[in-house]
Structure 1
């Protein structure tokens, strides 16, 4: 039986990856320090013999007994609310955490896939963004702690690949949404859904003309799965190329939820990207992958998920204690 380590296993994306690899017959080792993850996301897996969980911070060290075939490194804060609260930890998991896992992969002779992001492109001067674009990132801006952590992750991964011959893969993930997102984590889909369900006006940053491209979780997981088992070692964009403005997206949420709220506008955060659209030519040609779930179909699933939450869950705000981290 093949064995895979998935870091960030209790997070939104990590938990769905655990589900996929369990379904594919793997023995899955989930690892998470729970600084932003939630055990509720993987509670259904605990009774399974082919699943084990380690409450651990990969930024310190990583050691596992026995053989290991694959590693998926998805441990990192992913929302602006989180990585602006815990900037040092965000930098550490992208640098020290990646270094530790690359060392583990080398020790175990395991293939490792690291989760990069569209944020390596910064506020892009090229549109749509292809993998050859180097990006437009401020290393000292507030978002630099996340952007540069991921850029370093890519650099050290390629260094291990070239210098040690390590079997590596790099996925650049564009905006992804689906069940198990936290309502108040600051990302666009759960933020708008939460406001609509609570009867609040929808908050749009800037004038709403900035664009995003939203990929449903099942499509994202399929792309990652195909990349892991491909022979391609350079970065690959995985995302939905169907672009929309934030204002148009807010109007879609209002129409979907049938609410009477209006859109209100607040200042755009510093270094917030004005455009985000993946060029997925490589994913199509190399992986035979492209997204299948339309935005209208995916949003209906997510809306039903959020509606199923308790009233208490809908109303509560984030009160995570980062003081000791």
Structure 2
């Protein structure tokens, strides 16, 4: 049985990846410190003989006694609210955490895939974004703690690949959505759905003409799975190229939820990207992958998930474990 370590296992994407690798017959070691992850996302796996949960902060030394075949590094705050409130931890998990895991992968002779992000492109001057575009990032802006953490993560991963011959993979993940997203974390879809379910007006920042491209989680997981098992070591965009303006998307949410809210406008946050659309030509070529779930279908599933949440979950402002880490 192949063994895989998945960091950030109790998070949105991490928990879905645990599900997928369990389904594929792997022994999965899930690691999380639960700053932003939620144990309920993986509760259904805890009784399985081929799943092990380890509570640990990857910025500290990592000791895994078992042999490992693969490592997926998905531990990181991944939303604006998260990384603006815990900027130091965001930088540390991208730098120290990645370094620790690369060292572990080298010791175990394991293949390692890192979760990079479309945020490495910053507010792009090239559209759509291709993997050979170096980006337009404000290194000292408030979003820089996340953008630069991910850019450093890519750099050190490629350094280990070139210098040590480590097998590495880099997934540049574009906006992904689906069940288990955390409400009120600052990302577009949970923000809009949360506002709609609470009877609030939908908040659009700027003029609403900025664009995003949303990929359903099952498609994202499939792309990551194929990339891990591929022979390609350079970064690959994994996302859905179907682009929409935020203004039009807000209207889609109102139609989907059947609510009567209005759209209100507020100032655009500093360095918020105006365009976001992946060029997935490379993913089609090297992975034979492209998304299958259209936004209408995926949003219906996601809306049903959010409707099932309790009132406490619907109205709480942040993760229950979040505050204790703010000052660390």
- Assess same fold via TM > 0.5: yes
The answer to whether the aligner puts 1:147 opposite 2:147 as a matched pair is yes
User: What is aligned with 1:189?
Assistant: 189
Q: In terms of mean alpha carbon deviation, does 303-312 or 164-173 score higher?
A: 303-312
Alignment of 1:246-285 (within 5 A): 246-285=246-285
CA distance in 2, matches of 1:261, 1:110: 50
The answer to whether the aligner puts 1:29 opposite 2:32 as a matched pair is no
User: What is aligned with 1:311?
Assistant: 311
CA distance in 2, matches of 1:18, 1:175: 19
User: What is aligned with 2:201?
Assistant: 201
User: What is aligned with 2:124?
Assistant: 124
The answer to whether the aligner puts 1:323 opposite 2:326 as a matched pair is yes
Deviations 1:272-306, CA, capped at 9 Å, x for gaps: 00000000000001100000000000000000111
CA distance in 2, matches of 1:36, 1:225: 23
Q: In terms of mean alpha carbon deviation, does 40-49 or 314-323 score higher?
A: 314-323
CA distance in 2, matches of 1:173, 1:316: 27
Give the paired residue count.
325
Whether the 8 Å contact between 2:85 and 2:326 is mirrored in structure 1 is no
| Gapped regions of structure 1 (runs ≥ 5) | none
CA distance in 2, matches of 1:323, 1:128: 36
Deviations 1:26-85, CA, capped at 9 Å, x for gaps: 000000111110101001000001000110000011110021000000000000000000
Whether the 8 Å contact between 2:6 and 2:18 is mirrored in structure 1 is yes
User: What is aligned with 2:56?
Assistant: 56
Whether the 8 Å contact between 2:183 and 2:190 is mirrored in structure 1 is yes
User: What is aligned with 1:95?
Assistant: 95
RMSD: 0.7
CA distance in 2, matches of 1:312, 1:178: 20
Alignment of 1:58-97 (within 5 A): 58-97=58-97
The answer to whether the aligner puts 1:170 opposite 2:167 as a matched pair is no
Whether the 8 Å contact between 2:86 and 2:326 is mirrored in structure 1 is no
CA distance in 2, matches of 1:313, 1:104: 36
TM-score, length basis structure 1: 0.99
CA distance in 2, matches of 1:67, 1:35: 27
1:315 deviates by 2.1
- Secondary structure at 1:132 match in 2: coil
Q: Which runs of 4+ in 1 moved over 6 A?
A: none
TM-score, length basis structure 2: 0.98
- Secondary structure at 2:265 match in 1: strand
Whether the 8 Å contact between 2:230 and 2:287 is mirrored in structure 1 is yes
| Gapped regions of structure 2 (runs ≥ 5) | none
